[in-house]
Chain A
Amino acid sequence: MNIADIVKTLDGTLVAGGESDRTVGSVVANDLMSDVLLNDGEDMLLLTSLASDQAIRTANIVGAMCVVVHNAKPLPKTMCQVADTLGIPLVSSPLSKYDSCVRIHDFLAAEAK
């Protein structure tokens, strides 16, 4: 699952951070950044409702390949700037975090077959 797949699956829009050819290695859905930092998974797809610079900085610390913010939350300009600076794709999705989890799960399950 790559960035294009994420955008398509979650009816989302790539708003910052640019394209990337990395693929999803693990998925974390969380709004508490300390919890996110606890995860050791590689190439993390971070699903969150936290629309702040810290979501991107946290993603960078754990080497996440993409951050998705849900419920079409308005994204602060600085968040997009940080995503561009750190080169972390930032996707905005109108879906709830729960719906995203279901769709991502289904996609990865189908991909694994």
Chain B
Amino acid sequence: MAEGYSPKILTGGESKSDDEILAAHDKVNRVSGPGLPGTGDSPLVIMELLQRLRVRDVMRDHDIIAVSRADTMARAEHLMKLNHISGVPVVEGKRLFGIVSVNDIIKALEGGWIDEPCQRHMATNLVVLEADMPLAFAIKFFQNYTFGRFPVLNKERDLVGIVSQRDVTRVLMHELTSEIAKLEGKAVANGGGAAGGEARSEGALPYYSMRQFIVVRNDLSNAGKAANEIKKMLKDAGINNKIVRRVAVAAYELEINICIHSLGGSITFILDTEKATIVAKDRGPGIKDVEWACQDGTSTANDWIRSMGFGAGMGLANSKRVADTFDIQSKIPSGTTVMCEFMLK
């Protein structure tokens, strides 16, 4: 093979700006049906995480197991077996020439060319990721292709790492744990009732629980599950039945509202020893006249929604009626956030 040889790279051409990458990503989502896990209808914290994290944050960038073009297929097979991996890049210096996969090894064993150099039998139609791409892009690649790992190139087209599904999962779990800890930290600070949320007030018991539920647009078959879970949490915590019912009613109304009127969103439920808090947040389109929407009987529901037993225009009014405090913020087109609080004593 000539020194100037370079593999045909299917994706990840010249370096792109974030906007270009995200625009391309959106296009991929549109043409391929359901969106990424973590975009579309996933919670905002995950969406933000998948856009904030880059491929470089999850890739393995040291001790990359690789072979050279002159190495035999048997050498590649040995390395794969030794390291429990399903493919090795063919690299010289920082230059990526190809990949040898398990399939290539099987073919080599069957065809009797296991002792021949990798450069003759490696795959050269490569799908690669760029280090600067959002992690969302990598997840989409794992969905769209059957490869277990992707080489990662930098802007100079040098191989800088390898990313496997396991790498993605490991880093995501770590980041999610950290995000949840932050959210829980906020819950503790807010739950204590101290001014500025800096510390818990004296007498408040040192426990709380928090759960977040995803509400998918128009998914009426699942709407109500969050409210039922919230009700169960309250009953398990031994909360007075009348309060349980009020919280459950608000949770249910807000959940249904997100489902039938918005682009999707989430219900976050926080329970501490003093109060129960529901935060219903959607991703749009927002409410033009909030005051009007909070009145009994005002509705923009269509016939389909009404046929399912909803759309009587009672949702926000009902939530407001049962809650001790009710707050609604809405902005077109970014969305609506409703917060209801219920004192437990």
Contact = CB atoms under 8 A, between A and B. Distances in A.
- Is chain B a partner of chain A in the same complex? yes
Interface of A: 31-35, 37-38, 40, 48, 50, 52-55, 57-58, 60-63, 78, 86
Size range of the interface on B?
Answer: 20 to 34
A37 B249 CA distance: 6
A31 B253 CA distance: 15
Contacts of B253: 34, 37
Interface of B: 220-221, 223-225, 227-228, 231, 241, 245, 248-249, 252-253, 256, 308-310, 312-315, 318, 321
B312 A60 contact: no
A57 B221 contact: no
A61 B308 contact: no
A60 B231 contact: yes
A33 B248 contact: no
A33 B308 CA distance: 9
Interface centre among B309, B312, B315 (most CB of A within 10 A): B309
A88 to B, nearest CB: 11
A20 B37 CA distance: 41
A31 B252 contact: no
A37 B318 contact: yes
A38 B314 CA distance: 9
SS of B interface (majority) = helix
A78 B221 contact: yes
A58 B252 contact: yes
A54 B245 contact: no
Contacts of A86: 228
B252 A53 contact: no
Given A50-B309, A54-B309, A61-B249, A34 B314 contact: yes
Contact of B224 (A31, A32, A48, A58): A58
Contacts of B220: 52-54
A54 B312 contact: no
B155 to A, nearest CB: 51
Contacts of B309: 31-33, 48, 50, 52, 54-55, 58
Given A57-B252, A62-B245, A63-B245, A34 B227 contact: no
A57 B318 contact: no
B228 A34 contact: no
Contacts of B313: 34
A86 B256 CA distance: 19
Given A54-B220, A61-B248, A61-B252, A35 B227 contact: no
A32 B321 CA distance: 17
A48 to B, nearest CB: 8
A109 B231 CA distance: 33
B310 A61 contact: no
Given A54-B224, A61-B227, A38 B245 contact: no
A32 B312 CA distance: 7
Nearest to B252: A61
Contacts of A38: 314, 318, 321
A57 B249 CA distance: 11
B252 A52 contact: no
Contact of A34 (B223, B224, B248, B310): B310
Nearest to A57: B224
A5 B77 CA distance: 73
